[in-house]
Every structure is written in structure tokens, then in C-alpha cells.
Structure 1
């Protein structure tokens, strides 16, 4: 059994324990084929990735050479039969043909999808379980050891959004379960990483308030207000103002925001 891992540095687990050795352009080519696993990636797209829209006249030949070297690396790492099975030439493009167990991205996407379905069914304890399983697969930023071109960078950004979505689901479901104190560290981290996301600010303020830390909740509101004003010239949303008013009047916090709320 082989297993490609892209949720962090690019790695290949193979029976022999060999390291997949590849140059930077071959690695970028492999990275793009893996984020598009089980889809044919055209040569034009590969050239766009490797040369950012300005390919040399030798680009087609060079792409074929990179694929040749990638095949050789796969053969040395996991055997000729496996290399022929997983790296296919299809028409004017190439395809990594993998079963679900051979790529960590497949498991991650499946778990996030399950968490979203469970959220809609109000099965919050199971949402937390699936989201935690999905997040446990991440070993760092996606393909963190590569310098992506513009095509691969777009896929990295999209999948990083899915990672953030999984964090949202875990926090939202935990708040629904009354785990306000338990999610405070993650909410503080999310507010730090996404300072313009009003939904995260609202959840942090609400969680602090419901944990009996009204002073800190008001400080969190002021921090959100100042950030939005300084960076965007905006006033806090109605939801944030409503939370502030509830704290000041002793009316308690508002219900946790639903997944995807905020900017």
C-alpha cells in the first residue's frame, strides 16, 4: 500500500520506506496532479503552473521530461507496477489515479463532508468527532515544502478554506454543546489568524460572556471594533453590537453563530 500525503509537506509512504526524490519543478508537477487526483490535467495547465503563463518554446518537451523523471522516481520508490498504475498519460494530459486510501486529501474531504451533513441534522457531538478527525490529518500548511505557481496556489487557497471550514464546524458544534470554555483557545487563535472574520469575533465574545468573563468579552468587542475600523473603515456588525448590548445589560450572550457566518 502506498499513501501520498499533501496536508503538510509532500510525502509518499511506500512499503520499502524509500524517500521520493524529486526536483522543484517535478515536485510542483506532482503537487498539482495530486490536488487534482483522478482528474486529467492538461499539458497547457501544467505549463501554466511551471512557468506562470510565460512558457518557453521548449515547454512541452520539458513537461514530458519532468513526467519521465517523475515516473522514474515513482518506480524507484514504490515499484514499476505501482508507478504505471497511478501515473497515467491520457490524451494531451496526465492523471494520478488513486484509490481513497492512497491520498490523505480524500479522507479529509470525506470527513468534512460528513461533518457538514451532521451539522444540518443537529448531531453536534458527531460533528465535533468528524471535524477533529479531519483536522488531525493536517501536518501543517498544504504542500508547505513547495513553492507553488499560480495554478497550484489557487488550489492551495481553496483547500485551506476547507480546512478553516472544518475548524468552524468544530467550534460551532462545541458551542452548541455548551463547551464555551473549552473552545476559547481555538477561538483566540482563529481571531488572530482571521482578524476580519466577524463571525469568529462574535463567537469569542459570546463564549467569554457565557464563561462568566464579561470584562474580557467587552475587551474582545473593543478589539474587534478597532480592527474593523482601522483596517476596513467599518463599524461592527449588528450581531457584534447586539452581543455588546447583551453583556452590558446583563441579558446574557447570544446564540452561537452558525457555520460560515461573518466575513
Structure 2
């Protein structure tokens, strides 16, 4: 059974969860749950009372909002640390500051901190030209992603901006990992994933480009040309634009029978230090 000596762990990359050992410590009351999730997203940062109230009540807070917030904070503290009372000591995790609060967490206590730390490490490995190190770090970061962030709090509308930002970070990390896999000559392993992403996020030209490169590495140049034609139709119908210069350049090289992989990353600042491990199939 978990004790108060064990650290709390917070997870926002999926349903919102707080655990201590094997015991769940996630508040069940909606406002308390939203309050703690908001503070977790800004762990170790001061969050003003006025900002919390604006977020929890969507800028239409009742006159009793401050008193209600104080009650939520007290309830959350007791859920996180059973037996805690304000009369005995300050709370070890959820600290009060003048006109606000801070949720104090160590890096290993929040999945989002780990996710971003591993992402930065992976990007540093890319800059250093280390495919293997980059793939390990990016894979570990993606392993922390359990599903749509704060999935059980989406309907509240409180976290729309936060969720959009996190999803963008996730897509950027996927993009970087696919680049690393292409560098390793593993394009055939990511064709299906890229086809799905091109359908779900049709305006992300980079995914269309990566799909063409992956298909070429899999020896499917004709399919790569078909993928470009599909990207052209999607971009023109959804956004009224033509493919950008990078995607067009890859198309031209594939069409002429050249090496699109080299061209596809020649001007990629993130891949300045990476060397092609495997040639594209002719």
C-alpha cells in the first residue's frame, strides 16, 4: 500500500492521472480536477489566482469564486496527502504564494517534463549527427504519450489552447523521429504511419514529403508520385495553395529518377550533421 513517503506522479499526456505508488490520487470533483491539471501543466511556475479563476470559470466567475477556489485547493491538498491539515504544516506539493499557487514537482514526477527533456535531447543528437542517439531519445519521449492529452478534461473547454500546443509538440516530435528513421534507411517501416498522418493532417507538407521519401526507400517510386499527386489535390482543395518548394523539388527528383532522399534533407537545418546511412532504392 502506498504511503505519504512515496512521491506523487502526474500524467497529462493522456487522461489526467495522479498516483502515489499504486494508489490513485486524482480528484474526482470536476473543478478540483481541472484546477490540479492546470497547475500540473505549469508545474514549478507561479500561477496567479486571477488566472486560475478566469480559466476555471471561463471569465464569468461568480462573486464567490475566490472563496470557492480556496476550498478547492484545500480539498486537492487532502486528496494528494491524506491526513494533511493546514493547522499542522504547509503542504509539501501545492504551495500558497501571495495571490496565487505553485505546484512543486521534481522532473521525474511529471510526464510532460520528461517528454520535453527527451525531445530536447533528441534534437541535440540530431544536431550532432547521431542517428542512433536521436532515435533512442525520441522513441523514449513518444513512449510517454498515452493518447490525447487531458482526454478526460477536453469537454470542459478549459484546456483547448494547452491541448492544441501539446498536440503540435507531439506532431513535431513524430516528424523528427521519421526524419531519423529515414536517415537510418528505415522508411519502409513508417509508410503506413505517414499515410495516416497525411490523411489526418493534410496541411502538414512535411508529412507528405516524408511519405514520398519513405516510399522511395521502400522501392515504391510510382507510389511516391501518386502520393505527390494526392498531396497536390489536398493542398489545393483544403487551402487553395500549391505544394511548397521542398515538396515540389522532391517530386521533380523522383520524377527524373534521381536521389530524393539527399535532396529532401539537404537544406534541413535540423539534419545538417546527419549522414545518409542507406541509399534510396533506384
TM-score of the superposed pair, with normalisation by structure 2:
0.85
Matches within 5 A, 1:6-155: 6-15=12-21, 17-76=23-82, 80=84, 84-147=91-154, 152-155=159-162
C-alpha change, 1:200 and 1:16, in structure 2 (3 Å) is closer
Mapped to 2, the partners of 1:32 and 1:108 lie a distance apart of 17
Q: 1:147 to 1:64 in 2, by over 3 A?
A: farther
Q: Show structure 1 runs of 5+ residues with no match.
A: none
- Once residues 171 and 10 of structure 2 are traced to their aligned partners in structure 1, the CA distance between those partners, rounded to angstroms, is 22
Specify every segment of 5 or more residues in structure 2 that has no aligned partner in the other structure, as ranges: 1-6, 272-282
Q: Secondary structure at the match of 1:4?
A: strand
Count, aligned residues: 259
Tell me the CA shift for residue 52 of structure 1.
1.2
When residues 28 and 178 of structure 1 are mapped into structure 2, their CA distance, relative to the original with a 3 A threshold, is same
2:216 matched to 1:212? no
Structure 1 runs (4+) deviating above 6 angstroms are none
Checking the alignment, whether the CA contact within 8 Å between 1:28 and 1:147 is kept in structure 2 is no
Cα separation, 2, equivalents of 1:49 and 1:239: 41
1:174 deviates by: 1.0
Given the two structures, how large is their TM-score scaled by the length of structure 1?
A: 0.91
SS at match of 1:165: helix
1:168·1:260 contact (CA, 8 Å) conserved in 2?
A: no
Q: CA RMSD in A?
A: 2.2
CA distance in 2, matches of 1:173, 1:83: 47
Aligned pair in 2 of structure 1 residues 205, 83: CA closer, same or farther (>3 Å)? farther
